[in-house]
């Protein structure tokens, strides 16, 4: 059965975000089921899911309450669009619930299916808003190196990772990339984190002056960078850049796709890092990945201007077929309710420091140059030489070797660009499971070091 499924995969599936040549040679690993923080492959082997899927299964696997809600909603009303003023109860109640969560007073919520389409919507909304107030020249978006904001044409252009540009004729005009806020790699000799943040702020000022503030609509930023390498902002970073944005009437898009709903120890990453966003993007843990759904939170001043401008056109001409899908909305609503009922934000806030403390034992490993993290997310940057921070040759694919070593030990982690190994377990993880995660991570690192002759 396993062989036949694997062959069907090789014959018919086109895998996203995959080394396609390597996959052709090695074939797929096929998952069968999940329970709590564990998943099982088709041969019955158990793995601790150290990446919450793709940063998203906050409630873990096999949550029967979410399955019940999905089944009931499918039977009651399986689908209805939000176009032309039509609505459904789950979408209405989810928007009202999100209004209780987000730090934007009076927010309105535009639903989608993924973080990528939500950030694409953000770009369109910024342009629409500035058109609406008579400033159509404000259309450029500032992003940063190592940022990840999605894979649509617009959001892949915002993404600051070369692999997402090469062969796609990206990036596009009207996207400006700043230096990555990666102190470990971008900080200069003798420079403190605070001084690094000052330098990044000066760079922002210089770029705005060069481009012209009158041409820039917004800056988009993750509170901490996820897929770009689990990069935490340097000390005081947002405190320094936000006054500059405000001075030049440049709005701030907060991409909470990875950080949102408890990952950093608070409900949203912007609260952890003192960001004051204009708009917010949410997905992933919004439904704990039990159904595809995303949301864009828009403040009243933007919404009101868009309403007036759309009136002149006859309609607001943007929306997705599955936006506000009643099953997805019902599951996301119950997911947020369960987080509240079970105190999941508080639990995650307790477990985060435990994970970070236990990971310190890994920092001395010969392969680990930099250990960074907060809450229930962490990254290990691998180096060939700890003293010089020299990187492994890209062809060595060291992070992939570590991920493979961890997989052999029964732990799922993720290899990221720059030889970073990411850790992001379901928020329900407990202390004993954290110990299991760190133990298997250490053994996975040892495996990779032995195979590479780098013990």
Indicate whether 317 and 351 sit together in one domain.
no
Please report, in angstroms and rounded to a whole number, the separation of the first and last CA atoms in the chain: 39
C-alpha dihedral sign at 403, 407, 410, 416: positive
Q: For residue 128, which phi and psi values (nearest 5 degrees)? A: -60, -45
Residues 50 and 133 both lie in one domain: no
Q: Which tens digit of pLDDT belongs to each residue from 41-94? A: 999 999 999 999 999 999 999 999 999 999 999 999 999 999 999 999 999 999
The encoded tokens of residue 75 equal 């039977």
Q: Give strand pairing partners of 39.
A: 34, 47
CATH no. for residue 389? 3.90.1150.10
Alpha-carbon gap, residue 153 to 158, rounded angstroms = 9
One domain, residues 331 and 378: no
The answer to whether the beta carbons of residues 106 and 98 sit under 8 Å apart is no
Q: What is the CATH number of the domain that holds 154?
A: 3.40.640.10
Dihedral sign of CA atoms 186, 238, 116, 100 in order:
positive
Between CA 451 and CA 455 the distance in angstroms is 9
Mean pLDDT by 10 residues, the chain (455 residues): 82 92 91 97 97 98 98 98 97 98 98 98 98 98 98 96 91 93 97 98 98 98 98 97 98 98 98 98 98 98 97 95 98 98 98 98 96 98 96 94 97 97 98 98 96 76
Select from 294, 322, 341 the last residue of a domain.
341
pLDDT of residue 453: 78
Q: Where are the alpha helices (DSSP H) in 64-109?
A: 64-76, 89-101
Residues 335 and 369 in one domain: no
pLDDT (0 to 100) of residue 202 = 98
Strand pairing partners for 252?
219
Residues 311 and 375 in one domain: no
Cα–Cα distance for residue pair 155/166, rounded to 1 Å: 14
> Are 150 and 241 contained in the same domain?
yes
- Continuous H helices in 236-325: 237-247, 269-272, 300-313
Task: Please report the pLDDT score of residue 171 as a whole number.
Answer: 83
**pLDDT at res. 452:** 80
Q: What is the pLDDT of residue 137?
A: 98
Range of the domain at 390: 2-62+343-452
Q: Are residue 393 and residue 263 in the same domain, yes or no? A: no
Q: Are residues 395 and 255 in the same domain?
A: no
Q: State the pairing for strand pair 279-282/368-374.
A: unpaired
Tell me the pairing of strands 175-178 and 140-144. parallel
Is 348 found in the same domain as 214?
no
Tell me the three state secondary structure of residue 65: helix
Assigned token pair, 381: 């940057």
Domain end call among 341, 374, 392: 341
Q: Do residues 246 and 359 both lie within one domain?
A: no
Whether residues 102 and 235 fall in one domain: yes
- Total domains present in the chain: 2
Q: Looking at 279, 309, 341, which one is the last position of a domain? A: 341
Q: Are 334 and 384 members of one domain?
A: no
């Amino acid at each position: 059965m396993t062989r036949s499924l694997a062959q069907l995969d090789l014959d018919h599936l086109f895998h996203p975000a995959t080394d396609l040549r390597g996959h052709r040679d090695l074939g797929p690993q096929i998952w069968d089921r999940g329970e709590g923080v564990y998943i099982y492959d088709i041969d019955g082997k158990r793995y601790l899911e150290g990446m919450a899927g793709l940063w998203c299964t906050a409630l873990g696997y096999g949550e029967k309450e979410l399955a019940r809600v999905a089944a009931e909603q499918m039977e009651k009303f399986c689908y209805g669009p939000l176009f032309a003023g039509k609505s459904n109860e789950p979408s209405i109640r989810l928007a009202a619930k999100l209004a209780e969560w987000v730090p934007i007073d009076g927010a309105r919520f535009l639903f989608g299916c993924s973080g990528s389409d939500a950030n694409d919507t953000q770009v369109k909304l910024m342009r629409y808003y500035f058109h609406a107030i008579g400033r159509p020249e404000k259309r450029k978006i500032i992003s940063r190196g190592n940022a990840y904001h999605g894979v649509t044409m617009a959001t892949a252009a915002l993404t600051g990772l070369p692999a997402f540009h090469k062969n796609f004729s990206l990036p596009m005009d009207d996207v400006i990339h700043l230096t990555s806020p990666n102190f470990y790699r971008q900080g200069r000799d003798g420079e403190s984190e605070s001084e690094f943040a000052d330098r990044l702020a000066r760079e922002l000022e210089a770029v705005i002056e060069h481009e012209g503030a009158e041409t820039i609509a917004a800056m988009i930023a993750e509170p901490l960078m996820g897929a770009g390498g689990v990069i935490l902002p340097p000390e005081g970073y947002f405190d320094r850049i936000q006054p500059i944005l405000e001075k030049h009437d440049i709005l701030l898009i907060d991409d909470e796709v990875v950080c949102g709903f408890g990952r950093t120890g608070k409900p949203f990453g912007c609260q952890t890092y003192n960001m004051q966003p204009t708009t917010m993007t949410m997905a992933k843990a919004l439904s704990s990945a039990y159904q595809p759904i995303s949301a864009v939170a828009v403040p009243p001043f933007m919404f009101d201007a868009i309403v007036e401008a759309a009136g002149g056109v006859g309609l607001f001409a943007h929306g997705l077929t599955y936006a506000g899908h009643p099953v997805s909305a019902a599951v996301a609503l119950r997911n947020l309710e369960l987080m509240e009922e079970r105190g999941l934000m508080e639990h995650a806030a307790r477990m985060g420091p435990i994970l970070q403390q236990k990971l310190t034992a890994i920092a001395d490993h010969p392969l680990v140059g930099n250990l960074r993290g907060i809450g229930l997310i962490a990254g290990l940057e691998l180096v060939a030489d700890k003293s010089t921070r020299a990187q492994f040759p890209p062809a060595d694919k060291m992070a992939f070797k570590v991920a493979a070593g961890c997989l052999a030990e029964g732990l799922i982690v993720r290899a990221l660009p720059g030889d970073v190994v990411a850790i992001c377990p379901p928020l329900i993880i407990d202390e004993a499971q954290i110990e299991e995660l760190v133990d298997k991570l250490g053994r996975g690192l040892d495996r990779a070091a032995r195979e590479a002759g780098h013990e």
